[in-house]
Structure 1
Amino acid sequence: MINSNASIDDAEVAIAAARAGAEAVRARYGRRLTRIDKGAGDFATDADVAAEEAILGVIRAARPEDAVHGEEGGQQGVADAVRQWLVDPLCGTLNYAVGNMLVAVNVALRNGPAAVADPFSGEVFFTDGETAWLRRDGGDTQLAPTAATQLVDLNLDPPFPSAPAFRAVDLLAHPGFVERFRPRVVSTTLALAWVAAGKRAAYVTDGGDLRESVHFAAGVALCQAAGCVVTGVDGAPVGQACRGLVVASDAETHGRLLSMIRGRA
């Protein structure tokens, strides 16, 4: 636990918080989980709640005056506060609940530093707001996006707000897509960190304004800091005017994907 101290920078707070959440997630893996129904087939587990509590403990100790919006606990503090943390304690709950380790812990300061922790690899992807890094085994390595893998992660989870004009699943039937790329479905925003790290060429999801979503804020901040091309599926800059996300390692990959999407939307 880190103590309240203005000299501790926000990136380190985000890293410590994400790690605390990751520890809670890892500790409960494989145990019998209590499910908390959210309706429409969605649910949380006691692991989600424990991870969020661990994250909040770090943020409260380091930044007691800051507001926090957590996926499970909702808004704490003023919603339009200048300093607000966005917390998704366990992205990939369905994966986790069935024993799949593809999950992420997301912590982001609005318009600032962010961290994405992989509870099982021990990797923490983070940004200070300007540059993106991977912290592993006590060392930091700057992230370098690349399209070399040609793997594109698609979010196929409902709802599909742009249907029938566009759904990410439609790309699977596009001849240009299957000629150029290979689809993957991780079903967690860990895939965004993988784009920043060069493990994925791109990521595509439908939706509304995802910039300040607890699910996507940390991954978007990470990819932007790494130098990825980040827009909505309509090509608009990420913000209230855009919908969904097309996050690509480079301009060529982004342009190809956007051309395919526009051909169907």
Structure 2
Amino acid sequence: MIHSSPSAADAAVAVAAAQAGAEAVRELYGRPLDRIDKGAGDFATAADVEAERRILDVLRSARPDDAVLGEESGKQGPIGADRQWLVDPLCGTLNYAVGSTLVAVNVALRDGAAAVADPFSGEVFHTDGRAALVRRDGADAPLAPTASSQLVDVNLDPPFPNAPGFRAVELLGHPDFVQRFRPRVVSSTLAVAWVAAGRRAAYVTDGGDLSASVHFAAGIALCRAAGCVVTGIDGEPLGEAGRGLLAAADTQTHALLLSMIRSQGS
């Protein structure tokens, strides 16, 4: 695993890179964009490609000795680099392609600083690995997770690698879930940042090891720095043997959701 020391300087780079990508996403919004087929129903657009290009420009300029893993361009940078940046230039491409603004730009230094930019609100959620903050109009404020909204975002997109032991749609129908929470489906990892910001009580997704995912690494870093409870859907730490993601605002919410998930396999 690649490790790095959290720093304010790295956080500043993450923020600048995410803002550069967000600017491209805003500029190209609403224009007719060709779809680049990636198979299995997935696709990218010219906005994904341009946003990633601008992000890479920032990272190469500020951190030329670091490696980068971009969703669209793959691995970049020096072979054997000690540090690696994970880049998702436009999370929520389908939303974006049909005119929805529920998207995010994710930039994370593996095991270090991270930033999630909301191109349309102008907010940038960021962390140096210790503090979790949101930048609005040039000013930073601390993130404060809370479960008071009772809103839980659940990713319903395939594949479902942990079925039949876990099915997200069954979680939504669990009697305790219906009584305690209200479901939301944003279809963008912006929702993971919202857990750290107190706008969601929790986020749940199926999957394998998401700790080094270009989609999830930045949101996971934010949640951890904000003091959220972050595990796999099995309650185990994230890592190579990980199973999905359960990020909750507090221990009680995490325990409640984990109990509902575990009941599916009983």
Do the two structures share a fold, i.e. TM-score over 0.5?
yes
Q: TM-score range by the shorter chain?
A: over 0.9
Structure 1 counterpart of 2:58: 58
Distance 2:58 2:208 in 1: 30
1:34-45 matches, cutoff 5 A: 34-45=34-45
Structure 1 counterpart of 2:103: 103
TM-score normalised by L of structure 1 = 0.96
1:75-86 matches, cutoff 5 A: 75-77=75-77, 81-86=81-86
Q: Does 1:163 align with 2:163?
A: yes
Greater CA drift, 170-179 or 117-126 = 170-179
Deviation at 1:81, TM superposition (A): 3.1
Q: Identify if the C-alpha distance between structure 1 residues 221 and 8 changes in structure 2 by more than 3 Å, giving closer, same or farther.
A: closer
Q: Identify if the C-alpha distance between structure 1 residues 200 and 112 changes in structure 2 by more than 3 Å, giving closer, same or farther.
A: same
Deviations 1:105-142 (A, max 9, x none): 00000110000000000000000111100000111000
Q: Identify if the C-alpha distance between structure 1 residues 222 and 75 changes in structure 2 by more than 3 Å, giving closer, same or farther.
A: same
Paired letter, 1:259? S
Q: Identify if the C-alpha distance between structure 1 residues 79 and 226 changes in structure 2 by more than 3 Å, giving closer, same or farther.
A: farther
Structure 1 counterpart of 2:198: 198
Distance 1:24 1:255 in 2: 40
1:203-214 matches, cutoff 5 A: 203-214=203-214
Structure 2 counterpart of 1:185: 185
Distance 1:12 1:236 in 2: 31
Distance 1:80 1:205 in 2: 31
Q: Identify if the C-alpha distance between structure 1 residues 166 and 131 changes in structure 2 by more than 3 Å, giving closer, same or farther.
A: same
Distance 1:259 1:80 in 2: 42
Structure 2 counterpart of 1:263: 263
Greater CA drift, 8-17 or 37-46 = 8-17
Q: Is the 8 A contact 2:206 2:244 kept in 1?
A: yes
Per the alignment, in what secondary structure is the counterpart of residue 152 of structure 1? Answer: strand
Q: Does 1:27 align with 2:27?
A: yes
Paired letter, 1:205? T
**Number of aligned pairs?**
259
Structure 2 counterpart of 1:4: none
Distance 1:46 1:180 in 2: 41
Structure 2 counterpart of 1:150: 150
Distance 2:61 2:233 in 1: 38
Distance 1:216 1:243 in 2: 13
Deviation at 1:168, TM superposition (A): 1.3
Identity %: 74
Structure 1 counterpart of 2:121: 121
**Which segments of 5 or more consecutive residues in structure 2 lack a partner in the other structure?**
1-6
Q: Does 1:219 align with 2:219?
A: yes
Q: Is the 8 A contact 2:8 2:128 kept in 1?
A: no
Distance 2:33 2:238 in 1: 36
